[in-house]
A and B are shown apart, each in its own frame.
Chain A
C-alpha cells in the first residue's frame, strides 16, 4: 500500500492522524505547515568538513575532536529531534563538560520559570476537547501557528461533553485581530505589554473585588467584567497561552500571574492553562534532560555536575559572553534566529551542525552532518505539546543516518578520544 499512516513532526500538535503516499512522496490530510516538511525539500547532500564532502565516519571523528578539544562547548537545539537522540545529547554534554540548551530558552522557557514559581494546573488535549466549554487563546494564534489544533483539540473539536463548536465559547486575547480572533466569539484587544495588569484585574474581579479604573491595558472595565463572569461561569475552561505572553513585557511574571488566576478559578469551577509549544518535540528537549540531569534547559556541566541558571547558561547568554569555544547545533537554526551579537561569536568558533536540511547555520558550520527526517525516515519518541508521548514512524528508507545513530557514534568517539 502506497499510503501509510504517519505522525507529523512539524509543530507541537504532533497530529497522528495524517497519511503519506510513499510512492508519490505526497502528504495527505496535513496542514500547510506539516505539508511543507513532508514534501520534497532541499537536503544537505553529504557530511562535510569545511565545505568538502566526507564520509559520516570522518565527519564524526572531526566533530568528536572539536568537542574533546574544547574547554566548554555549547550543545544547542534539540527541539526537532527525537528523545532517543536528546538523551544521548545530554549524556554527551555531561561528558564534554559543556552547556546544554534548547530552543525553549528563546521561546517558552518563561513558562518553565512560572512552573517553578507556581506550578501549572493543566490537562491533556484530549481532556480539553472532551470537557472545555470555554477556550481562551491568550497571545497565541493557532490558526496560523498550529493550524489543526482548533479542529483536533480545542475550538471545534468534538468530545465527551462538548459536541462541537456551538457547545463552547472561544475567546481570543491579543494585541491585534489575528486569524484566530476572527473565528472567536469574543476578541479582547489589549495594549502590547499589558498582559500582567489585565490578568491582575481579572483576578480582582473574579474574587468579587472592584477595580478602581475605567480600563486596564486598553480593555474597558465592562469587557473585563464580562470576561471574568464568563470564566467564573464556565464548567471547564482553558487558557492556551503563546509567545505573545512569554516574550512580551513581564515574560515569566505574566505566566505566573495567569497561573495564579487559574488557581483562583479552581476555587469556583474547573480551569486549566497550557502553553502552545512550537516545535514537535520541544517538550522532549526539556523533559529528557530533566530526568537525566534534573533541569530542562540552560544547563552547565563545566564543574562536572549540572547547574541550571537561565541568566548565565542560556545559549544567547553564553554566546554573547563569548563563554564557549565550540558549538554543536542540532535541529535548530540559531544563525537565522539569534541576535547578531550571538551569531558573531558563533562565527568565530568551530561549529558542528546536525540537521536534515540546510539552513543559515549550515553556512557557518565547520562540520555538517546531515540526518534523517524523524517521522518519515527515522523512528523515535516525541512529546506532543501536552506531554503525550508518541512514537513517530519511519516509512521511507534512506542513506541518511538518524540523529540517534550520529550521536551514538559521536559519543563513542568522544569516550575513545578521552581515553575512558
Chain B
C-alpha cells in the first residue's frame, strides 16, 4: 500500500536538484514526492532519518535480469542456484549465488536500495518470455531493450540507405516487443557468425549485405535521433573481449560526431571494461581505459557504463554469439549458443574472475579505471550483471571509487601484472559521495530519459533509499568499510511510496511497472508493410500476427509515447 510519508531530518544528497548533503525533509503522497503543504501531518507516517543519508532509489541501466539468456544460464548452472538466500515465508523462497531467481533479483535490489532495473538485451522474437520474467520480478520498475544490430530488416534498410524505413521499422519493433529503446550488439558480427565469422573491425563487411558495422551504427544513431526516442542507441561494440580493442571502441565513439541532443547523449556505449584493452595479444595486453576516458571526457554526446569485473563467479551471457564461442574455446568451458531466426544470436559461458589471474586482475582494474578517469557525468556504475559479476557488489565498487586506500589494500591481493599493465595503482582520484550517488541514480535515469527517476524533486516517483551513513561525518577515503557495508542493506527502501525494506529486511512486496516506448505516432507503418509480410512469409518460422507482445499481457505496463 502507498504510505503518506514524512521523512524527517535526513541528510539529503540529490545531485539533479543541486542538493549536497543538506539536512531536509522529504514528503511522499500517492507514490510521488510532494510539497510539504500537500501532506496532512496528522495522517502521515514519520520516518526519523536524523543523521542518515537520504537519496533516490538506485537505477540499474544495464543488467541481464530476464529472458531466455539468464534462464538458460540458470538451467546450465544448478551449482549457481545451490546457495539458499531465503526460506519461504511471507516472501518467496530465494536462491542463487550470482545468477538469481526472479523473486531473488527483485528482493536483492530492494535490500540494496535500488528500485529500477533494465534488462539490457531482449531477443525480439523472445520478447514475450522476457516480459514473463520481468513480471516475475517483484519490488522494482523495469524495462527491456530489444536488440537491433543484426536484424535483417535493419541490415536491409542500412544497405538501401533508407532511413525512413529504418525509423519505421524501429518504431514497429519497439512497439511489438514492448521494448524501451535501441540496443545494438556487435553490429554485423553476429550475422557473420552464422557463417562462422565475426566483424571485429568497423569496416569488416557483413556477409551478403555489402555493408559494414560503421554504416549500421551510424544509421541506427540517425534513425534513433530522428525518432527522438527518450534513450539513445545503447551499443555493445564490435571486437569485444580482444586485446587492442580500445581503438575499435574509440573509433566507434567517433561515429557519434555530428549528432547532438539537448536532453541526453546520442550514443551510450555499454560495459566498456570489456572493450578497453590495449596490446596485441594476451601476453602484452594492457589497459586502454585512459585513452577511452580521454576521448569520452572530450565530447559531450557520449556516455558509458563500466561493466566492472568483480572477483568470483560470473556468467558471460551476451547477444555477441561469436565472442561467446571464442570465450568457450579460451576457457574450455560449457557453452550455450542460440541463433535466432533472422535477428541475431546469443551465447552463454560460465566464468570465474580470479584475483591472481593476470588477465582477470587487469579486467578488474580497467572497470575501476573507467569509473575513476571518466567525468562522473558520463559514466554509470554497472557490472553488466552477470557478465562482470553480481549487482549485489555495487557497494564494493562505490566504496572503491571513493577510496584510494581501499584500492591500495585490494591491489595487494591481486596479480602484480596489474602494476605494469594498468593505470589503477597510480590513480589518485577519489570520487565524492555525491558523485557516486550521481553515477547510480540521476545519471542513469537521465541517460534512459526517465524524468521521474533518480532524484527527489517534487513530482518524482517516491523511490527512496535511506542508508546508515551521515555524509557530513563520514570520511569516504578512510571509512570505506562502513561505506561498503551501509550500501548493502538500506535502512529503508521506499518504492512508489511504499516501505518495502526496513533495516535491510524485506517488509512488503510490491510490483513495479514495466516501461515501454511507443514511437509509432510519427511513422507510417505502410512504408514497411510489404517488407514485413515478405520477410515473415519467407524467413520467419512464426506468423506475423503471432509476433510480439500485447500490452494487456503485461502485469503493470506504462506506455511512454514519443514525439
User: Which A residues have a C-beta under 8 Å from some C-beta of B?
Assistant: 5, 7, 16-17, 83, 87, 91, 94-95, 97, 112, 115-127, 129-131, 152-153, 158-160, 235-236, 263, 266-267, 269-270, 272, 286-288, 290-296, 301, 303-306, 308, 381, 383, 387-391, 420
Which partner residue on chain A sits nearest B123 by CB separation? A124
CB of B19 within 8 Å of the partner chain: no
Inter-chain contacts of A7 with B (CB < 8 A):
546
In Å, the complex CA distance between A157 and B88 comes to 48
Closest partner residue, chain B, to A83 (CB atom): B132
A269 (CB) vs chain B CBs: closest residue: B196
Report the separation of the CA atoms of residues A294 and B96 in the bound assembly, to the nearest whole angstrom.
Answer: 8
Q: Are B68 and A387 in contact (CB under 8 A)?
A: yes
Given A127-B339, A293-B93, CB of A308 within 8 Å of CB of B78: yes
Q: Are B129 and A294 in contact (CB under 8 A)?
A: no
Within 8 Å of chain A (Cβ to Cβ): is B84? yes
Closest to A296 in B: B75
The answer to whether A294 and B125 have CB atoms under 8 Å apart is: no
Task: Give the interface segment out of B505-513, B519-527, B535-543.
Answer: B535-543
Q: Known A269-B196, A291-B71, A305-B93; judge A5-B545 contact (CB<8 A).
A: yes
CB-nearest residue of chain B relative to A112? B75
Closest residue of A by beta carbon distance from B344? A127
Interface residues of B in 303-347 (CB under 8 A from A): 325, 328-329, 334-342, 345
Q: List 26 A-B contacts (CB under 8 A).
A: A87-B132, A94-B92, A115-B336, A118-B334, A119-B328, A119-B335, A124-B341, A125-B541, A127-B342, A129-B541, A160-B342, A160-B539, A270-B195, A291-B74, A291-B136, A292-B102, A292-B136, A295-B75, A296-B75, A304-B89, A305-B93, A308-B81, A387-B338, A389-B127, A389-B129, A390-B128
Could you tell me the distance between the alpha carbons of A293 and B103 in the complex, rounded to whole angstroms?
8
Q: Is B88 touching A301 in the complex (CB atoms < 8 A)?
A: yes
Contacts A16-B543, A389-B132 given; does A124 touch B339 at CB 8 Å:
yes
Q: How far is the CB of A101 from chain B (nearest CB, A)?
A: 15
List B contacts of A308 (CB < 8 A).
78, 81
Which residues of B sit under 8 angstroms from A235, Cβ to Cβ? 195
Pick from B72, B94, B538: contact of A158, CB below 8 A. Answer: B538
A305 and B95 in contact, given A116-B76, A131-B194 (Cβ under 8 angstroms): yes
Give 1 or 0 for each of B61-74: 1 = CB within 8 Å of chain A CB. 00000101011101
Structural contact, A266 and B325, CB atoms closer than 8 A: yes
A204 nearest CB across to chain B (Å): 19
Q: Answer yes or no: B348 CB below 8 A from chain A CBs.
A: yes
Q: Which residues of B contact A118 (CB under 8 A)?
A: 334-335
Q: Which chain B residue has the least Cβ–Cβ distance from A388?
A: B125
| B133 touches A (CB below 8 Å) | yes
Is B194 within 8 A of A270, CB to CB?
yes
Question: Which residues of chain B come closer than 8 Å to A123, judged between CB atoms?
Answer: 337-340, 345
Q: Which A residue sits closest to B90, measured CB to CB? A: A420
Given A94-B93, A306-B93, 12 other A-B residues pairs in contact with their CB atoms under 8 A: A118-B334, A120-B336, A122-B337, A130-B539, A131-B339, A158-B538, A266-B196, A266-B325, A272-B339, A294-B101, A388-B126, A389-B128
CB distance from B293 to the nearest CB of A (A): 36
Residue of B nearest to A17 (CB): B543
Nearest-CB distance from B123 to chain A (Å)?
A: 9
- Interface residue from A115, A126, A269, A381 paired with B542 (Cβ < 8 Å): A126
Residue of A nearest to B348 (CB): A119
Are B95 and A121 closer than 8 Å at their CB atoms? no
Complex contact B125–A115 (CB within 8 A): no
Given the complex, which residues of B lie within 8 Å of A119, measured CB to CB? 76, 328, 334-337, 348-349
- Asked if B86 is at the interface of the complex by the 8 Å CB criterion, the answer is yes
Assembled-state Cα–Cα distance A188/B72 (Å): 32
A301 vs B89: C-alpha distance when bound (angstroms): 12
Complex CA gap A207/B133 in Å reads 41
- Closest Cβ of chain A to B327, distance in Å, is 12
Given A294-B81, A294-B101, A306-B93, A126 contacting B341 (CB threshold 8 A) = yes
- Specify which chain A residues have a CB less than 8 angstroms from the CB of B546 in the assembled complex: 7, 16, 390-391
* B553 contacts chain A at the CB level, 8 A cutoff: yes
B552 CB, nearest partner CB in chain A, Å: 10
How far is it, in angstroms, between the C-alpha of A120 and the C-alpha of B69 when the chains are bound?
Answer: 12
* A6 CA / B325 CA spacing, docked (Å): 38
A256 to chain B, nearest CB (A): 10
Interface of chain B residues 92 through 135 with chain A (CB within 8 A) = 92-96, 101-103, 125-129, 132-133
Is there an interface contact between B129 and A159, defined as CB atoms closer than 8 Å?
no
Q: Once the chains are docked, how many angstroms separate the CA of A60 from the CA of B103?
A: 27
Given contacts A130-B539, A389-B126, contact A121 B75 (CB under 8 A): no
**Nearest residue, chain A, Cβ from B70:** A291
| A117 CB contacts on chain B under 8 angstroms | 334
- Tell me, rounded to whole Å, the shortest Cβ–Cβ distance linking B104 to chain A: 9
In the docked arrangement, what's the CA distance between A129 and B536, Å? 13
* Beta-carbon contact of A116 and B342 below 8 Å: no
Closest to B545 in A: A5
Across the A-B interface, the 9 shortest Cβ-Cβ residue pairs = A294-B81, A126-B541, A126-B341, A123-B339, A389-B128, A304-B87, A119-B334, A127-B339, A121-B337
A159 to B541, alpha carbons, bound, how many Å? 9
Taking the closest CB of chain B, its distance from the CB of A122, in whole angstroms, is 6
- Cα–Cα, bound, A270→B196 (Å): 6
